[in-house]
Every structure is written in C-alpha cells, then in structure tokens.
C-alpha cells in the first residue's frame, strides 16, 4: 500500500486505525500505528496525538495513554487540548490523583491553562469525591480570570445530587440563574431525579416548567423521573395527567412510561383506564413491545376474574408475531391449568403453532408443558415490569 501511487495516505486514515484498535481493546496496536506514521510518509503532529489519546481515553485505556503521553511530550509541542483530553480520561474513571498530577505537570510546563482544562480537573475531583478541593480550584480559576461556563457549574450540581445534597445543588443553580447561564437537559434531569427520590415532586414540576420557560426542551427522562414517583405512590390521576401532558409538550411516552402506568392501573384495579391507555397507544402509533404485553398478561393473571383479559393480550401478542417470554407462557399456562381450562390451553397452542414466527412455534411446547423445550429457550427476562 505504501508503494502504490493510487492512494493518498494522510493523518485522517491513521485516525480511523487508532479508533479501530481502541474499540477492539488493542491499545498497543493503536500506539504502534502512531509510531509507524512516518514510514508511510506522514509526519505525526500534535493533532494526531490528540486523536490517539482521545480514542484511547474513550475506551478507558488510560494507563497506555498516559505512558505514551509521557514519551511523546519530549517529541511534540503539546497544547492545552492535549492535556485536557487526558485529564478528561482520568476524570471519567474518577482518578482524581492522576488528574491532579497531570494538571500540576501542565502548570510546570508553562502550558496555558484554559477553561476546558479546569473543567476536566473539576470533573475528576468531584467524581473522585474531592468536592472541597474542587471548590478551591474553582476559586483559583476565578482569581486567574478564567470565566466559568454552564458546564463548570453543572459539574458541581451533578456531584451534589449524587451526594443527596439538594440544597447545595440549588445554590449552584441559583448562581447560574444570576449569571444567565443555562443548564442543559441532563443537568435539569439530574436535579429532577434527585427531587423525586426525596419525595419533592412539586419542586420537580417547578423545574420542569422552568426548563420549558427558558427554552430547554424536557426529554423522556425528565418526565419519566416524575412518572416513576407517581406510579410508586399510586397517584393514578396525576400519572395519567402527566402522560397526557407529555403528548401536549410533544414528548411522546415511551415503552417505560406505558409500562409504569399500565402496571399501576392493573395493580389498583383501574381496568377501565387500562383500555383507555391501550387505545391511546394505538392512536399515537406506539407499538407495544414484549415487555409491555408482559406487564398486562402478568398483571391480569394475578387479578381475580381477569384471566380472560390476560388471554386476550396473549393472543394479540401472538397475532403480532411477538414471541412472549418463557415466564409469561408458563404463568398463563399454570393459571389456566389451575382453573381446569384445558380447552383454552389447546386454543392457544394451536394459535402458536400456526404462527409464522419459529420462536413462537417453539414456545407452543412450553404451553403444553414440555419441560425439555424450556431449557432451549430464553428463561428469564429482566425487563418484565410487572413484579
């Protein structure tokens, strides 16, 4: 390849090689490729080094990245960006000691420290549990006239929320408001989730309204954090109102939203509302997954006099060509068997055998009680949200 005149080899080709080796968890291969760039007529630059370090750090090959960085700094003139990439890598794994050492080396080398470097150090310190030290670094940053941005403050908000210190998180949020800095949706979601865990749902709604008023569009995680609170506390009316608000706010409910609400409705016996929610799913072109059907079937199987409903949704599932979980088939079979409804089992078995899905055909053996078939199929599914 290197002798061919039909190819133009440049640094960007090597970036793809760095990425491929890093993703394959072969960091030494990525480093070896960098060292051989000159053999192909490409003189490596600090920009190429940045790309190599970025891909290594992204895959958490920090030891190899640091070792190569220590060697390369004598060959290339490093930039603040180079240090920041490695700082970010150490921060991602919460190694505040390594991040601190690297930052100090940056200062010793006389490399200009910019906002990105400070943010990466702050992130590493907060993730490593050194929040007080992070605050000192923040004040040092201000004294050197490095202006913090929204991301700087969000680092502290995430840290305080993780430590269940809601008051401190709100103090930082108030500062952002004063300086007209806008948190992103991830920062708002972090606070909303913590508020809901602390049963401060009204405050969570206030933040949701603030997001919209400030032009930050809430995402599905924003709403589902509050929805989880309503469902956990059996607040059925508020759960339904929130679900319809989501549609009004142009953030359609997802699988998790529907599963939470359906599970709640069945648990408290609001079967009329189950039908309404199901119709709403159809109207919004939401296609139920295996877990959504499982919530309904498992829920109805546990309710007295609702076995027919469970069978109805099971048949719908088969008609849609969605293979049910083994646990779902076994539960329904056992309920029918317990009531002596052998003819119902026969009807379901026939329907399953006529399915175009090979997986459903195999599950028919589980429905008739063939234990040998059980061992060849997936047995436990962790996303059934009905227990």
Q: How confident is the model at residue 77 (pLDDT cuts 50, 70, 90)?
A: confident
pLDDT at 150 over 70: yes
Q: How confident is the model at residue 109 (pLDDT cuts 50, 70, 90)?
A: confident
Q: What are the E-state strand segments in the chain?
A: none
Contact 85, 54 (CB under 8 A): yes
* Res 112: pLDDT: 87
Distance CA 222, CA 204 (A): 9
The Cα angle at residue 42 between residues 40 and 48, in degrees rounded to 5: 125
Q: Which residue has the higher pLDDT, 283 or 146?
A: 146
Contact 383, 291 (CB under 8 A): yes
- pLDDT per position as a tens digit, 225-234: 999 999 999 9
CA-nearest of 197, 265, 272 to 237 is 265
Q: Which segment of 1-10, 327-336, 351-360, 364-373 scores lowest on mean pLDDT?
A: 1-10
Residues 178-193 have a mean pLDDT of 97
- pLDDT per position as a tens digit, 31-51: 999 999 999 989 999 999 999
What's the token pair of residue 291? 């877990």
Residue in the block written with tokens 């088969």: 318
pLDDT at 14 over 90: yes
Residue in the block written with tokens 């959504």: 292
pTM, entire model: 0.85
CA-nearest of 176, 171, 120 to 150 is 176
Contacts of 182 (CB under 8 A, 6+ apart): 150, 176, 214, 215, 216
Contact 225, 198 (CB under 8 A): no
Dihedral sign from CA coordinates of 164, 166, 167, 172: positive
pLDDT at 3 over 60: no
Find the radius of gyration of the CA atoms of the chain.
Answer: 28
Number of Cβ atoms within 10 Å of the Cβ of 55: 23
């Amino acid at each position: 390849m290197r002798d061919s005149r039909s190819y133009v080899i440049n640094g960007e080709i090597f970036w793809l090689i760095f990425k491929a080796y890093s993703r394959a968890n072969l960091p030494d291969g990525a480093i070896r490729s960098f060292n051989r760039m000159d053999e192909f007529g490409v003189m490596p630059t600090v920009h190429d080094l940045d790309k190599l370090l970025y891909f290594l750090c992204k895959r958490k090959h920090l030891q190899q990245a640091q070792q190569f960085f220590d060697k390369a700094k004598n060959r290339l003139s490093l930039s603040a960006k180079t240090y920041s990439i490695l700082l970010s890598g150490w921060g991602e794994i919460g190694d505040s000691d390594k991040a601190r050492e690297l930052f100090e080396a940056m200062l010793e080398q006389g490399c200009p420290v910019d906002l990105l470097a400070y943010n990466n150090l702050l992130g590493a310190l907060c993730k490593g549990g050194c929040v007080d030290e992070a605050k000192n670094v923040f004040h040092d940053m201000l004294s050197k006239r490095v202006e913090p941005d929204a991301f700087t403050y969000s680092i502290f908000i995430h840290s305080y929320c993780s430590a269940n210190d809601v008051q401190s998180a709100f103090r930082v949020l108030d500062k952002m408001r004063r300086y007209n800095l806008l948190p992103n949706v991830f920062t708002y979601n972090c606070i909303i989730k913590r508020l809901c865990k602390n049963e401060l749902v009204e405050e969570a709604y206030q933040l949701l309204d603030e997001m919209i008023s400030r032009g930050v569009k809430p995402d599905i995680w924003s709403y589902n954090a509050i929805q989880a609170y309503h469902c956990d506390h059996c607040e059925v009316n508020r759960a339904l109102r929130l679900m319809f608000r989501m549609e009004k706010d142009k953030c359609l409910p997802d699988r998790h939203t529907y599963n939470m609400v359906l599970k709640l409705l069945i648990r408290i016996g609001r079967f009329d509302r189950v039908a309404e929610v199901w119709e709403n799913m159809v109207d919004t072109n939401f296609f139920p997954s295996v877990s959504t059907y499982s919530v309904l079937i498992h829920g109805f199987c546990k309710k007295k006099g609702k076995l027919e409903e469970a069978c109805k949704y099971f048949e719908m599932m088969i008609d849609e060509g969605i293979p049910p979980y083994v646990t779902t088939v076994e539960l329904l079979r056992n309920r029918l068997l317990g009531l002596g409804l052998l003819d119902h089992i026969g009807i379901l078995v026939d329907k399953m055998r006529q399915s175009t899905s090979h997986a459903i055909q195999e599950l028919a053996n589980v429905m008739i009680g063939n234990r040998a078939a059980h061992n060849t199929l997936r047995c436990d599914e962790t996303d059934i949200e009905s227990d």
